Chain A
Amino acid sequence: MLELLQYDFFVNALIASLLASIAFGIIGSFVVIKRIVFISGGIAHTAYGGIGLGFLLGFSPLLGAMIFAVGAGLFVAVMKYSDNQKEDSLIGIMWSLGMALGVLFISLKEGYVPNLMGYLFGNILTIPREELFMMLGFDIVIVSIVVIFFKQFQAITFDEEFAKVIGLPVRSLYILLLVLIALTTVILIKLVGIILVVALLTIPATISLMFTKSLKTTMVYSIVLGLFFTIIGLLLSYYLNLVSGATIIMVAVAGYIIANIYKKIYFS
């Protein structure tokens, strides 16, 4: 197995797994306890429109993804605070609109069409070095914001109304959280792809919540579990010649099932 470390692409994949695990471990914990999995899925899928636009106009697809994901996050925030009764339908529409735009933009692009499967289902073995720096940058942003505003985020995810009563800027904090979800989504695109983002946001955090009573430990456990799942998935996909993104998700789902059985046997 050690001979794999001689390959740059494999080392890059390992570093990417670590950097991504930090982001989705922390943000996924908020997504799960605040129960905004659907919203996060919407943000992730809308990003596909940005990938298409990037290809069409010739700029970085990941930059496009980031712009669309952050835009989607802001749209969700506007929906939430506009007394709109159709919030979840509108998020569903945003979700499909983003995907449709992506497909449309790419079909408009003449000539060579790159392999888009990599963006939909991930391809961790093709992550170039400069994207690792982007991931590192996002990690630094995510970790510092969560460290600084940990108690505030805890307050708005636990009891939003009380947070309003004591005068916290609940709206700004919620928008900030959605933007962090958008950044995490972009980090995860190369790892498991847009379609599978939701799995890595939710599975490690959901397992962690079964075994811990504090938000901070939930985050730490999620990072460790996420890293474990991605590395096992990576190795399996390499040796068995399977697609990486889907294999990582399979490992994570297996982990979830095992955790449930373990909890049933030993904690009941």
Chain B
Amino acid sequence: MNSLELNNVHASIKGKLVLEDINLSLTENEFLGVIGPNGAGKTTLLKVLVGLIKPDSGTVLVAGKSIEKSKREVGYVPQFNTFDNQYPISVYEVVRMGLLSGLGLLKFGDKKHSEKITKALTQVGLQDFLERNINELSGGEIQRVLIARALVNSPKLLLLDEPTASVDSFHGQNFYELLNELNKSITIVLVSHDIGAVSSYVKKIACLNKTLVFHDSKSISKEMLEKTYKCPIDLIAHGVPHRVLDHHEH
């Protein structure tokens, strides 16, 4: 069973078509990087995947189920830098948010919940940060907290919106090593406008600009990028040790 499947998905915002005929299928433990320029529909694509935007047509299946039925199987990690870091909230409370459902009340001091929260924070290496306030954390740490919040339901699919690797330097384990570790049991889709951010840890790359160009491999060709960005792009990989691109002629 595919962990994510999109068939002929069209979606529009305020009557304007933003996503056209998107087809994509990912098997389990896949790691896809979606790149595309600003305004290419990356955010819309993520919103479709988490069920915030209903596609005009086409189907989206997560682990074989519709979005409505798979809410708990999708972990969503928004951009961390849009957060109001003056908000008085602890790391524990942020992660607990992931466990909220409907208007059902969380039992106070529910042990099961507290175990899940600790486990999720351990996965991202923040088990000692439970009581810390969000405004005491660095950008990279906040990003990890948001990942823990997404992991707390043990999702099958993890979605990341514009993660920033550069802010992270954490106990020697860098951000992509963390994602790589998580990827052993979870399918990951990462969306970014920054080609450099999509490092060699990504197993597959797709280019989005209204339509999605997805080759079932990791390589991106110059043609693929030019089609996506609508301008010539130099495929120069400065990013040692994280090479985006395979060795190539250019």
Measuring CB to CB, which residues of chain A are less than 8 angstroms from any residue of chain B?
33, 35, 83, 148-149, 151-152, 154-155, 157-159, 161-169, 209, 212-215, 217-218
Contact = CB atoms under 8 A, between A and B. Distances in A.
A218 B100 contact: no
Nearest to A167: B71
Contacts of B78: 159, 161-162
A86 B77 CA distance: 30
Interface string B175-188: 00000000000000
Nearest to A216: B88
Nearest to A83: B14
Given A148-B105, A165-B51, A165-B52, A155 B100 contact: yes
A162 B90 contact: no
B105 A214 contact: no
Given A159-B78, A162-B78, A33 B87 contact: yes
Contacts of B90: 213-214
A166 B71 CA distance: 6
Contacts of A212: 88
B137 to A, nearest CB: 12
Contacts, number: 73
A168 B105 CA distance: 12
Interface in B106-157: 106, 133, 135-136, 149
Interface of B: 14, 50-52, 71, 74, 76, 78, 83-84, 86-90, 93-94, 96-98, 100-103, 105-106, 133, 135-136, 149
A78 to B, nearest CB: 18
Given A161-B52, A214-B88, A214-B90, 7 more contacts: A157-B87, A158-B94, A161-B78, A165-B50, A165-B74, A167-B71, A213-B90
A169 B14 contact: no
B106 A151 contact: yes
Contacts of A168: 100-103
Which 10 pairs from chain A and chain B are nearest by CB? A213-B133, A165-B50, A165-B76, A155-B97, A215-B88, A167-B71, A218-B88, A213-B88, A214-B88, A158-B87
A153 to B, nearest CB: 11
Contacts of B100: 151-152, 155, 163, 166, 168
B103 A209 contact: no
Contact of B98 (A149, A154, A158, A166): A166
B89 A158 contact: yes
A169 B102 CA distance: 6
Nearest to A157: B87
A98 B51 CA distance: 39
Contact of B88 (A33, A148, A151, A167): A33
B17 to A, nearest CB: 17
B101 A151 contact: no
Which of A161, A165, A215, A218 has the most chain B CB atoms closer than 10 A to its own CB?
A165
Nearest to A166: B100
Which of B50, B71, B89, B106 has the most chain A CB atoms closer than 10 A to its own CB?
B89
Nearest to A32: B86
A245 to B, nearest CB: 29
